[in-house]
Amino acid sequence: MAQHMVPRQVYYRVCAALLTLTLITAGVAFVDLGQLNTLIALTIAVGKALLVLLFFMQVRYSSRLIWVCVAAGCFWLALLLTLVMSDYLTRSWQVVTGW
Protein backbone atom coordinates (compact mmCIF):
# COMPACT_ATOMS: atom_id res chain seq x y z
CA MET A 1 0.00 0.00 0.00
CA ALA A 2 1.46 3.34 -1.03
CA GLN A 3 1.85 6.07 1.56
CA HIS A 4 0.31 9.45 0.88
CA MET A 5 3.05 12.07 1.03
CA VAL A 6 2.00 15.27 2.77
CA PRO A 7 4.14 18.35 2.17
CA ARG A 8 5.80 19.91 5.19
CA GLN A 9 4.00 23.15 4.46
CA VAL A 10 0.70 21.49 5.41
CA TYR A 11 2.09 20.49 8.81
CA TYR A 12 3.46 23.98 9.38
CA ARG A 13 0.07 25.51 8.58
CA VAL A 14 -1.76 23.08 10.84
CA CYS A 15 0.71 23.79 13.63
CA ALA A 16 0.21 27.54 13.14
CA ALA A 17 -3.57 27.02 13.23
CA LEU A 18 -3.27 25.03 16.48
CA LEU A 19 -1.14 27.73 18.06
CA THR A 20 -3.56 30.42 16.91
CA LEU A 21 -6.54 28.52 18.31
CA THR A 22 -4.68 28.08 21.60
CA LEU A 23 -4.05 31.82 21.80
CA ILE A 24 -7.71 32.50 20.99
CA THR A 25 -8.75 30.11 23.76
CA ALA A 26 -6.49 31.87 26.24
CA GLY A 27 -7.76 35.27 25.11
CA VAL A 28 -11.41 34.31 25.39
CA ALA A 29 -10.78 33.05 28.93
CA PHE A 30 -10.10 36.63 30.03
CA VAL A 31 -13.34 37.96 28.50
CA ASP A 32 -16.50 37.52 30.54
CA LEU A 33 -19.11 36.11 28.17
CA GLY A 34 -21.18 34.30 30.78
CA GLN A 35 -22.35 30.87 29.62
CA LEU A 36 -20.76 31.36 26.20
CA ASN A 37 -17.22 30.98 27.60
CA THR A 38 -17.68 27.25 28.01
CA LEU A 39 -19.33 26.84 24.62
CA ILE A 40 -16.60 28.79 22.83
CA ALA A 41 -13.80 26.93 24.64
CA LEU A 42 -15.34 23.55 23.82
CA THR A 43 -15.89 24.53 20.19
CA ILE A 44 -12.26 25.57 19.83
CA ALA A 45 -11.12 22.37 21.58
CA VAL A 46 -13.15 20.24 19.16
CA GLY A 47 -11.62 22.13 16.24
CA LYS A 48 -8.11 21.52 17.54
CA ALA A 49 -8.88 17.86 18.13
CA LEU A 50 -10.14 17.55 14.55
CA LEU A 51 -6.98 19.15 13.17
CA VAL A 52 -4.78 16.76 15.15
CA LEU A 53 -6.92 13.77 14.17
CA LEU A 54 -7.09 14.59 10.47
CA PHE A 55 -3.53 15.74 9.82
CA PHE A 56 -1.11 14.57 12.51
CA MET A 57 -2.79 11.17 12.88
CA GLN A 58 -3.20 11.08 9.07
CA VAL A 59 -6.84 10.01 9.15
CA ARG A 60 -7.62 12.36 6.27
CA TYR A 61 -5.62 10.24 3.85
CA SER A 62 -6.52 6.85 5.33
CA SER A 63 -8.85 4.16 4.07
CA ARG A 64 -12.57 4.08 4.77
CA LEU A 65 -12.03 1.39 7.40
CA ILE A 66 -10.03 3.84 9.50
CA TRP A 67 -12.83 6.40 9.10
CA VAL A 68 -15.32 3.81 10.34
CA CYS A 69 -13.12 3.09 13.37
CA VAL A 70 -12.82 6.80 14.16
CA ALA A 71 -16.58 7.24 13.83
CA ALA A 72 -17.17 4.23 16.09
CA GLY A 73 -14.79 5.70 18.67
CA CYS A 74 -16.58 9.06 18.56
CA PHE A 75 -19.95 7.34 18.89
CA TRP A 76 -18.69 5.33 21.87
CA LEU A 77 -17.33 8.49 23.54
CA ALA A 78 -20.64 10.29 22.98
CA LEU A 79 -22.53 7.34 24.44
CA LEU A 80 -20.34 7.23 27.54
CA LEU A 81 -20.58 10.99 28.07
CA THR A 82 -24.36 10.85 27.68
CA LEU A 83 -24.65 8.11 30.28
CA VAL A 84 -22.33 9.88 32.72
CA MET A 85 -24.17 13.17 32.33
CA SER A 86 -27.57 11.51 32.74
CA ASP A 87 -26.35 9.99 36.00
CA TYR A 88 -24.87 13.28 37.19
CA LEU A 89 -27.94 15.35 36.32
CA THR A 90 -30.32 12.99 38.14
CA ARG A 91 -28.33 12.92 41.38
CA SER A 92 -30.39 15.74 42.88
CA TRP A 93 -33.55 13.64 42.56
CA GLN A 94 -32.42 11.21 45.24
CA VAL A 95 -33.46 11.84 48.81
CA VAL A 96 -31.16 10.32 51.39
CA THR A 97 -32.77 9.71 54.78
CA GLY A 98 -31.72 7.81 57.84
CA TRP A 99 -28.10 8.88 58.02
pTM for the predicted model, two decimal places: 0.76
Domain ranges of the chain: 8-93
pLDDT band of residue 55 (cuts 50, 70, 90) is very high
pLDDT in tens, 22-48: 999 999 999 999 989 989 999 999 999
pLDDT tens-place string over residues 67-98: 999 999 999 999 999 999 898 888 776 666 77
pLDDT of residue 93: 66
DSSP states along the chain: -PPPPPPHHHHHHHHHHHHHHHHHHHHHHTS--TTHHHHHHHHHHHHHHHHIIIIIS--TTS-HHHHHHHHHHHHHHHHHHHHHHHHHHTGGG------
